[in-house]
Structure 1
Amino acid sequence: MSLSPREMLARLIAFPSVSTSSNLDIIGFCQEWLQSQGVESRLVMSPEGDKANLYATIGPQVEGGIVLSGHTDVVPVEGQNWSTDPWTLTEKNGRLYGRGTADMKGFDALVLALVPEMVRAPLKRPVHIALSYDEEIACRGAPSMVREMAGSVPTPSAVIVGEPTRHAVVTGHKASVQLRTQVTGYAVHSSRIDRGVSAVMNAARLIAWHDDVMEENRRRADLNDPFEPPYTTLHCGVVAGGSAANVVSSSAWFSTDIRAIPTESPLDYVERYKAYIRDIVEPRMKAIAPETGVAVELVAEVPGLRPETEGAAERLMRRITGDNGTHVVAYGTEAGLFQRVGWSTVVCGPGDIAQAHQPDEYLEIGEFEAGERVLRRLIGDLCA
């Protein structure tokens, strides 16, 4: 049995593997496909058992292979104005439309469709396939898979994370953390706010701290830094709290993220934030009502990808793609997780990140075909 890359992409797009749902259907399909080609795979389950990572090895169990890494989850389509069915692959005007075509089932489809060729090829070094869950939720799934692979897979020479870069060889991206801040106030009638502690107003003060620090970073930014923007960013994306306009709020919460350039650590910013809470905000709250306070939860941490000096993955992909530019990106990927276990890693794949998460997401057919050529060159390189 064989499936063309486009047929494989159509199969993958048909799975609505949104991060808020289980991915076991799409992972089951991938596992069955690999099994049909004589390739055994291993699942690394989520703690709840409703999601799974998958990894597999094709070729000899020796060091020096390559890892082809992709994620199976996609972002939701609700609230977006699609002109096509997001779960049906649709070709129009040289483009392939569907949720996940660019981010990043296009790469996954190419890898899976070429498995029969990998199996037939006289590989001297192996191909390792790694498919994760919950990349779109702060790379929550991949860490357990990477840890298991690091303990069981012969050390590869390179990891290729196939996020959409139009086959530019990306060697760096920012590290990030996600925080959830819970503010506990003391409720009174708003006419006597002097006797209460407003959770909402203190939350606003803390959100403003994020903006103020980011403005400081912007003013002192090194304009020669290749990142866009060239400084660490702090952002509040969700906030909720309070019950009525005339009630001093007893509870509020908000979610923030911090994305740090490689010369800085997002965890250092977390410590600055906690110090501001401890030294400035909470003393004023507790002076009125001792039971008030602020709790900060580290929801997720995504390590950055650091440019490597003469990195093996970078050298390989520059030779395969012909790209000799210097590329970094502001968004996060699973690349830093592989690099953290000592594996040389780059981000390089078909499509444009500008299409990620958008209504009418698409992958240009030319990019899809270029991705097929790149993977065939990689297979050939492993036979040399």
Structure 2
Amino acid sequence: MDSIQILERLIAFPTVSRDSNLDLIAYVTDLLAAHGIICQIIRSPDGHKANLFATIGPTDAPGIMLSGHTDVVPVEGQNWTLPAFEMSERDGKLYGRGTADMKGFVACALAACLKASKMTLRTPLHLALSYDEEIGCIGVHSLIDMLATAPQRPLLCIVGEPTGMQVATGHKGKLAARAICRGREGHSALAPLALNAIHLGCDFVSALRREQDRLARDGTRDGDYDIPYTTVHVGRMNAGVALNIVPNLCQLDFEIRNVAADNPQEILDGLRKEASRIAAEASAIAPEAAIDIDITNTYPGLDTPANSQAVAFVKSLTGANNTIKVAFGTEGGLFSRDLGTPTVVCGPGSMAQGHKPDEFVSAEQMRRCDDMLEKLLEQLSDHQFKLRD
């Protein structure tokens, strides 16, 4: 099977993050097993999802790992003109949920594994497929734990998120947090005698905006990013029961996406001080006033040196002369931090099409990815690698 045929099968599995990916994992397991490739399955604690890891070639040496996630974002509320979970081909574009993000790469990686099974590799090829990447790189942790205790760790990881087949050496880290603002309920006709938790929340949002202004003005800059500084963003506010009730609770979900030189924990510590100040001022009205902040999820950024041997190797596979950094997060930062594995991001398609209706990847991008992996297999069959960075 070629990569586009495999992609058609992958799209047909509606692996939205809230649902199971086990049917897709079973398909991949059977496909690889038919070519003599044994897969290691790492199930989620509830058993409804799984990671997959496979090695082609020698098992007593570290290899090159191709990494992708199997989950996709929902399609509800989007104006799709083509079936979301069926592949449609028009004018050289392959449509369907996950084509760009990132089943296109997974299909190319699987096609490469099938080719590799017929070759004699001196350096092994590893395949790593994860779940729940779209909700914060959550599922991959158990796979990383397994690799951390394995006799061999991968020499290099290529995360195939869509980069237009450019070699990306970095992405920002992310810290997601929730602020619980507590006031005092009351009748809206007597609102000044109560403490509106939404007002507390709005005051905290103002503090977040001041911090964003400071970071944009005075913060560390990395010119390789479209937005060259750390960003602070409020994504959700939930509060209120009825218009005539002063709400006593307001929940805010916000995030910090940091460049490598910034410590998101230090930024959060400053925001906690602002939250305490806001609550202290409000305690004159209601002593129970409080703003409590909890971290809900976090993952590190990626910052692989552009002049490293690992980056030079991947550039040699693609023919690239330069590198980029991407705005979106990936599992690459975890592989780099927790395993010490040099990691780059390189895959077919563009995130400009990801998460949108009528998502697509071009057949030309798939071909370019196939070509990159074909060159990788040639290198793995010719050499026993020892990358030194």
Quote the residue 2:311 is aligned against. Answer: 314
Q: CA deviation at 1:309?
A: 6.0
1:232 is matched with which residue?
230
Work out which of the residue numbers 283, 303, 321 in structure 2 matches 1:324. 321
Match of 1:133 in 2: 131
Q: How does 1:296-307 map to 2 (within 5 A)?
A: 296-307=293-304
Structure 1 residue corresponding to 2:28, chosen from 22, 27, 30: 30
Distance 1:153 1:80, change over 3 A: farther
Give 1:41 shift.
1.4
Asked if structure 2 preserves the Cα contact closer than 8 Å seen for 1:60 and 1:126, the reply is yes
Q: After the TM superposition, which residues 39-54 of structure 1 pair with which residues of structure 2 at under 5 Å, given as runs?
A: 39-54=37-52
Question: 363-372 or 25-34, which moves further after superposition?
Answer: 25-34
Q: Is the 8 A contact 2:310 2:343 kept in 1?
A: yes
Q: Does 1:12 align with 2:10?
A: yes
What are the superposed Cα offsets for residues 205-228 of structure 1, whole Å, 9 maximum, x if unpaired?
A: 112221221122222356762212
User: Which residue among 291, 296, 304 is the counterpart of 1:294?
Assistant: 291
- Offset at residue 246 of structure 1 (A): 3.1
Share of identical aligned residues, percent? Answer: 39
Q: Name whichever of 51-60 and 303-312 sits farther off.
A: 303-312
Match of 1:283 in 2: 280
Partners of 1:290 and 1:54 lie apart in 2 by 52
Q: Provide the C-alpha distance between the structure 2 equivalents of 1:175 and 1:219, rounded to a whole number of angstroms.
A: 20
Unmatched segments (≥5 aa) in structure 2: 383-389
| Residue 105 of structure 2: aligned partner | 107
AA paired with 2:309? A
Per the alignment, residue 247 of structure 1 pairs with 245
2:222 and 2:43 map into 1 onto residues whose CA distance is 43
**1:120-173 alpha-carbon deviations (Å, 9 max, x no partner):** 111001111000001100111112211211211512221000001111110011
Alignment match, 1:21:
19
Question: Equivalents in 2 of 1:312, 1:192: separation in Å?
Answer: 68
3-state SS, counterpart of residue 34 of structure 1: helix
Using the TM superposition, name which of 81-90 and 238-247 deviates more: 238-247
How far 1:114 moved relative to its partner? 2.5
Letter in 2 for 1:290: P
With over 3 angstroms needed to count, the CA separation of the structure-2 counterparts of 1:309 and 1:325, relative to structure 1, is closer
Distance in 2, matches of 1:83 and 1:8, equals 23
**1:308 deviation in Å?**
2.0
User: What is the rounded CA distance, in whole Å, between the counterparts of 2:322 and 2:314 in structure 1?
Assistant: 12
> TM-score, length-normalised on structure 2?
0.94
Partner of 2:208: 210
- Kindly state the Cα deviation for residue 288 of structure 1 after the two structures are TM-superposed: 3.0
Query: Take 2:42 and 2:250, find their aligned partners in 1: how far apart are those partners?
Result: 36
How far apart are the structure 1 equivalents of 2:204 and 2:128?
39
* Cα drift, residue 118 of structure 1: 0.8
- Code of the aligned partner of 2:281: R
Contact (CA 8 Å) 2:221, 2:259: kept in 1 or not?
A: no
TM-score, L = length of structure 1: 0.95
Q: Show structure 1 runs of 4+ deviating over 4 A.
A: 221-224
Provide the residue aligned with 2:386 in structure 1.
none
**Alpha-carbon distance between aligned partners in 2 of 1:202 and 1:75, rounded to the nearest angstrom:** 32
Distance of 1:330 and 1:191 partners within structure 2: 47
The 2-side partners of 1:224 and 1:162 are apart by 23
The worse-fitting range, judged by mean Cα deviation, of 57-66 and 282-291 is 282-291
Amino acid at match of 2:114: P
1:51 alignment partner AA: K
- Where do 5+ consecutive residues of structure 1 fail to align? none
